[in-house]
């Protein structure tokens, strides 16, 4: 097999230019996602570096060796930056510029710039490539729990790229060698780099789109004022919790909470005070919930929570703590605001969310009729 290096360079420049343009359009047409912007910059720099690298043996070797390779290292740095920004971290500008400056500084030494030092330059560039791609992999891996998107395609692509450039150090001396015929390892590097550029662009687009969809879904399940789950989230997660606890034979208790005299609070102190009351109650409830519990704001001043593996005694203790903590908050004027809580459990109505809500609502009505600021159990 024989790969034509000049042909591959032309194809590489064309394909990378097209991918860079597509990445730019994706960046412009969306929310100006910085990940796409940095990756577009990386691809564009790679195109310029490849064009400059093709000017070797034309009497201006400083252009491809110094300028072209410095831009190539800078392209690698922005590839790392794209993954770093996607992982939620800011650009590391010192880390971006240090390697290109090191390369330019090494070119000042005749032992590095000379024609017979080609292997040394190949090995140095390979080390920079492995280092920056490795850093990109680390950025994604360390933030995998936060990112919550599929990272395997990107990590696999980067691992292959690292493997190729690691093999390049001992195998590519800038001269053809025999592998089932005349074969130039540099041609393989150009071909693999072109495939990597296409692959990382589309994989990154897929990751950005997947994360945007997750964010939209989370926003649709979150109450914008209190930051906790809304009614839709409570129903979705609550149904799954009830099914899981039924299969495990665990009792579930529902607390239905309604802020007392909320309309009066809004009328006397204003809607800002009302919003503050809702936020504060959400924080009180959140502080009392465990990871396995489900809670959310299901109406204007109405909240609900499902306590997993909790009998009536344990749930009533939790309800009393919520009621007491909220009543003792410093912002609440005495006698103006409190919470009434109605309780129901699966021991009475089985694992049916609608029936639990109905029973708890009747218990809540009893708490209101009893003077508010109290807890009542269904039945």
Kindly list the structural domains of the chain, giving each domain's residue range(s) and its CATH number in brackets, ordered by start: 5-220 (1.20.1070), 231-377 (3.30.70.270)
Which pair of structure tokens corresponds to residue 276? Answer: 């503050």
3 state DSSP class of 2: coil
What distance in Å separates the CA atoms of residue 270 and residue 164, rounded to the nearest whole number? 66
Crossing angle between the packed helical segments 312-327 and 271-288, to the nearest 10 degrees: 140
Task: Check if the beta carbon of residue 133 is closer than 8 Å to that of residue 161.
Answer: yes
Rg (CA), the chain: 31
Burial code (b: 16+ CB inside 10 Å, e: under 16) for 235-255 equals: bebbeebbeebeeeebbbbbb
Tell me phi and psi for residue 256, to 5 degrees: -110, 115
Q: Residue 112: how many CB atoms within 10 A of its CB?
A: 15
Nearest CA among 65, 67, 26 for reference residue 45? 67
Closest CA to 299 of 378, 362, 225: 225
**Tally of CA atoms within 13 A in the half-sphere of 266 that contains its CB:** 11
Q: What is the pLDDT of residue 174?
A: 65
Q: What confidence score (pLDDT) does residue 179 get?
A: 40
- Coil/strand/helix, residue 345: strand
Which pairing describes strands 375-377 and 338-345: parallel, antiparallel, or unpaired? parallel
Q: Are 312 and 343 in contact (CB under 8 A)?
A: yes
Residues annotated as catalytic are 301
Q: Which two tokens stand for residue 352?
A: 């049916």
The residues, any chain, with a CB within 8 Å of residue 299's CB and separated by 6 or more, are: 231
Dihedral in degrees, nearest 10, Cα atoms 80, 83, 86, 88? -60
140 CB neighbour count, 10 Å cutoff: 19
Note the residue count of the chain: 379
Provide the whole-model pTM: 0.72
- Integer Cα distance of 15 and 356 in angstroms: 60
Per-residue tens of pLDDT for the chain, all 379 residues: 566 778 888 999 999 999 999 999 999 886 788 999 999 999 999 999 999 988 877 778 889 999 999 999 999 999 999 999 999 999 999 999 999 999 999 999 999 998 888 889 999 999 999 999 999 999 999 988 888 889 999 999 999 999 999 999 988 776 544 443 445 678 888 889 999 999 999 999 999 999 988 888 888 888 889 989 999 999 999 999 999 999 999 999 999 999 998 888 888 888 888 898 999 999 999 998 998 999 999 999 999 999 999 888 899 999 999 999 998 887 655 456 789 999 999 988 889 999 999 999 999 999 999 999 999 998 7
């Amino acid at each position: 097999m024989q790969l034509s290096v000049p042909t591959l360079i032309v194809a590489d420049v064309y394909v990378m230019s097209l991918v860079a343009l597509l990445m730019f359009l994706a960046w412009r047409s969306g929310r100006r996602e910085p990940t796409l912007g940095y990756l577009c910059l990386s691809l564009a720099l790679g195109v310029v570096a490849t064009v400059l690298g093709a000017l070797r043996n034309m009497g201006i070797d400083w252009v491809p060796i110094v300028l072209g390779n410095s831009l190539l290292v800078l392209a690698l740095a922005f590839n790392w930056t794209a993954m770093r920004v996607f992982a939620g971290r800011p650009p590391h500008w010192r880390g971006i510029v240090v390697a290109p400056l090191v390369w330019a500084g090494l070119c000042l030494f005749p032992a590095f710039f000379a024609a017979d030092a080609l292997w040394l330059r190949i090995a140095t560039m390979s080390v920079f490539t492995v280092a920056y791609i490795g850093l990109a992999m680390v950025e994604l891996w360390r933030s995998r729990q936060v990112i919550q998107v599929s990272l395997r395609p990107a990590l696999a692509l980067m691992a292959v790229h690292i493997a190729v450039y690691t093999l390049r150090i001992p195998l590519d001396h800038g001269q053809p060698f025999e592998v089932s015929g005349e074969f130039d390892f540099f041609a393989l590097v150009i071909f693999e780099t072109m495939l990597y550029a296409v692959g990382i662009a589309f994989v990154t687009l897929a990751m950005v789109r997947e994360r945007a969809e997750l964010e939209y879904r989370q926003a649709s399940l979150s109450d914008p004022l209190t930051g906790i789950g809304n009614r839709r989230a409570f129903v979705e997660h609550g149904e799954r919790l009830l099914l899981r606890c039924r299969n495990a034979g665990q009792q579930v208790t529902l607390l239905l909470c309604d802020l007392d005299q909320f309309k009066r609070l809004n009328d006397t102190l204003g809607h800002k005070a009302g919003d503050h009351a809702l936020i504060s109650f959400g924080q009180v409830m959140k502080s009392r919930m465990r990871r396995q519990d489900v809670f959310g704001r299901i109406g204007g001043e109405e909240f609900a929570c499902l306590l997993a593996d909790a009998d009536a005694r344990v749930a009533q203790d939790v309800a009393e703590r919520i009621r007491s903590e909220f009543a003792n908050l410093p912002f609440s004027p005495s006698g103006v605001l409190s919470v009434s809580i109605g309780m129901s459990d699966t021991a009475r109505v089985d694992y049916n969310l609608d029936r639990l809500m109905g029973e708890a609502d009747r218990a809540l009505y009893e708490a209101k009729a009893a003077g508010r600021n109290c807890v009542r159990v269904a039945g």
